[in-house]
Structure 1
Amino acid sequence: MCYKTKFLYLLPMKRIYNILIIGFLTQLIVVGTVEAQQDKIEGEWFTTDEQAKIAIFRGKEGYNGKVIWLADMEEGAEAPLDTENEDPSLRERSILGLNILEGLAYEDGEWVDGELYDPESGKIYRCLARFKRDEDQLEVRGYLGMPAFGKSVLWERVK
């Protein structure tokens, strides 16, 4: 094979190699951006009227939220119990430290397919969450069946 023929033979392979490298690097950038966006929900949030503080964190099955502070608890007082729970065996557990959000998954700019436990009613609702005006306001929607048949509340990020 002469020098010119060998050069022409290798040219397409270099192009293919370059295209593959560029594609791989682009994929890394896109995945990194989505990863960074979905983690923006993590942190501490005040519920409506600052009655409780919820810590949202990434778990094995999605994003979860745990009650870490209650407004009506005096220092040194025992935390209120989960007395409204439909399961009588769970009515003696403390609301403080309770996971009330479970399994939120990031999809198309919002967190979906989660469950929200309401300690005031003892009911579990399906849940989705999304930023409202900016990344310091989180709209949390609990619903039965379809999101259209639910209620939204606004949580504020703790600063």
Structure 2
Amino acid sequence: MRTRAHENNPRRSARYKAVLAFDPVKPQLPPVRILDAACGDLDPVLPAYGTLIQSIRMVSCDRKNVWAPDTKRSSAAAIAVDGTGRALFIHARSPWPVHDLVEALLALPLDLRRAMYVEGGPEAQLFVRAGGREVERLGAFEGSADKENASLAWEIPNAVVAVRR
């Protein structure tokens, strides 16, 4: 993760093939992008953005589900980009196998182009404050979604904040 003012970790993981790029250094650039290391679009583009967050791909640059099938279920938080370049902040409270969640997202009329996983289980959280409303969604592991402690937010390792310009 890197911002213009701070670099959390300069090393890129070969396993994490998605990079969320925003805060462009030039105004003519798209305001947000998800780059895909498997498509060769990282190195030329990384210097053009002030903020970079690396994570695991869910939807590749050719719009394919790249998450391996698994039976493990948990809540999930993801960030995606649609065909017009809009950022989509996705939260699935109900525990899903991630591969199945990706299939469901691709089946929706969202024109989803790329997506990356940002957190799972209780740390998968979404908070929105806009238009005089607040919405808070918390994550859970399979079997814990209805338990008493599932209504308490866990500490989160990182946060992505978006402000309308």
TM-score band w.r.t. shorter chain = under 0.3
TM-score by length of 1: 0.23
Q: Which structure has more helix as a fraction of its residues?
A: 1
Specify the structure having the higher radius of gyration (Cα).
1
TM-score normalised by the chain length of structure 2: 0.23
